[in-house]
Amino acid sequence: MTDIEHLLFYFLRRGLWGRADTDDVNVDDGAWDKLFLLSCRHAVTPLVADGIALTSLRPPQELWQQWIAMSLRIEIINERMARCGELLVNWLADENISASVFKGTSVARWYPEPFHRGNGDIDIVVNNGWDRLERLFLRCGISFFYESGEIIVEQPEAFAPFVSVAEANKGVRNIFTLPGNEPYRIEFHYACESLYNPFADARLKRMSGHESSLYVKRSFSLSGDAPEFYLSCLVLHLRRHVLSYGIGLKQVCDVAVMLRRANLDITLLESLLRRLGAWRFSRVLFSFVEVYLYGMPVPSRRVSDKDVALLYSIFMDDGYMLKIQREDMGRRESSSAMRIVHNGWFWIRRSIRLFRLMPAEAFFFVCRKTYKRLHTVVCKTFKVIHIIH
C-alpha cells in the first residue's frame, strides 16, 4: 500500500463511519493533489471530502474549494437522478410494468449521506412485463438499443413528456437533463444479475422468480426491509466486474455500508451466496472490507492473505482504468485477427489469475468468451460467402 492509498482509506473510513478521537496522520502539501485524483478515479470524492471535513486537516484552499464544488455537483446530480428513477418506476407501473431501481440511488440509502455516493447510470430491473417494454418505447418514440440482451436509452430526456409534470412547477424544465448536461444513460435489465456459470445463473433466475415473494419483491423495493438478496446481487455484480476488467472502490463501499447498516440476516445471506456459488469470493471480499474499510487489524474470517492481496490489486491497480486501457489497445490494433488473439490471451490469463476466488465462474467465463467470438467469426464468414455467391 502506498502512502496515498493509506490516506485514501483513512479518510474514506472517516467519511463512511464518522470521526476518530485524534488525527493520527500527516499529509504533505504535495500529497493532497494525488489524493484528490485517486478519490476521483475511484468515484469516492464526496466521501473522502466528508472524511477530511471531520478532521483538523485541510488541503490547500484552491484545491479544497475544487473538492467541495465537485462534491456538491455530485450531490445535486444524485438528487436529480433519484427523482428520475422514482418517476420512471411510477410511469412503468401505470403501464402495468413492474420495475425497481437497482444499485445507484437505491443502495445509497444505507450511506450516512445518501447523495454523496458516486453517481453513475440509472439501472432499472423489470420484474414483470419485460415483453411489453419494447412495445411501450416504440409507441412513445423513445430511441433505444440492445446491449447484452438489455435495453439501453442514451437520451433519457425523451422520457420527460411521459412522466409527472409536477417538476415543471418547481422550475425544472426537464428533470431528466442533469446540471451541465452531464451525460448518463438508463439501463433496463430483465434480471437483477446474470452469471457466466449457466447452472448458477439458472438458479439465480429461479430465485428471482419463484422465490420473489421472499427475496426480490421486498429487497428491490426502495423501502424494502429484506436486503439479503439485494446484497447478494451486488456481490455477484461486483464479482463479474472483477473477473472482466476490474472495478473501483465505489461498489466496494456499497457492500461495506450494507454489511454494517442494512440489518442483515447473516445466516440467510451466507445461504444465498452459497447457493449462487459466490461464497468463496464473498468471504475474501468481506475480509477486504473489514481490513481496509472497517479498519480491523485482521479479518474476522480465516482467509488467505494472498487472496485479500489479490483483490487489493484488482481494486487499486486495475480499478476503472483497465477497461479504458484495453479498449484503447484494441483501437490501435489494425489487424482484427491479432486483436482476437490478444483479447483471447488476456481473458485466459485473467481467468487463471482469478480462478482460486471463483473457479466455476472463471471457467465458464472463458467458455462464454470463446463461444461468443467463434459465433461472431462464423456468422461473418457465412455472410461473406453468401455475398460472394
For range 116-142, the mean pLDDT: 91
Neighbour count for residue 174 (Cβ, 10 Å): 13
Whether the per-residue pLDDT at 170 is higher than 70: the answer is: no
Strongest mean pLDDT among 41-45, 294-298, 343-347 = 41-45
Could you tell me the pLDDT band of residue 6, with boundaries at 50, 70 and 90? very high
Q: Give tens-digit pLDDT for 198-207.
A: 999 999 988 8
Whether the per-residue pLDDT at 287 is higher than 60: the answer is: yes
Strongest mean pLDDT among 210-219, 226-235, 367-376, 378-387 = 226-235
Strongest mean pLDDT among 161-165, 217-221, 296-300 = 296-300
Q: Give tens-digit pLDDT for 27-86.
A: 888 899 999 999 999 999 999 999 999 988 999 999 999 999 999 999 999 998 998 898
Q: State residue 302's pLDDT score.
A: 83
Q: State residue 215's pLDDT score.
A: 47
Q: State residue 176's pLDDT score.
A: 83
Could you tell me the pLDDT band of residue 295, with boundaries at 50, 70 and 90? confident
For range 298-327, the mean pLDDT: 84
Query: Could you give the count of Cα atoms lying within 13 Å of 274 in the half-sphere of its Cβ?
Result: 6
CA dist 180 and 318 (Å) reads 29
What amino acid occupies position 157?
Answer: E
Q: State residue 120's pLDDT score.
A: 85
Query: Could you give the count of Cα atoms lying within 13 Å of 83 in the half-sphere of its Cβ?
Result: 18
Q: State residue 261's pLDDT score.
A: 92
Cell 489497445 belongs to which residue?
Answer: 329
Q: Are 312 and 284 in contact (CB under 8 A)?
A: no
Could you tell me the pLDDT band of residue 219, with boundaries at 50, 70 and 90? very low
Domain chopping of the chain, boundaries? 1-59, 227-389
Whether the per-residue pLDDT at 320 is higher than 80: the answer is: no
Q: Is 301 exposed, middle or buried (0-12, 13-18, 19+ CB in 10 A)?
A: exposed
Residue 311 Rama label (left phi>0; alpha psi -120 to 50; beta): alpha
Between 103 and 198, residue with greater pLDDT: 198
Q: Specify the pTM.
A: 0.87
Q: State residue 383's pLDDT score.
A: 66
Strongest mean pLDDT among 176-180, 327-331, 351-355 = 351-355
State the pairing for strand pair 145-147/150-153.
Answer: antiparallel
Out of 168-172, 274-278, 293-297, least confident range:
168-172
Q: State residue 212's pLDDT score.
A: 46
Q: State residue 59's pLDDT score.
A: 94
Please give the mean pLDDT across all residues of the chain: 85
Between 383 and 176, residue with greater pLDDT: 176
Distances, alpha carbon 61 to alpha carbons 52, 151, 169, in Å? 13, 44, 38
Q: State residue 162's pLDDT score.
A: 81
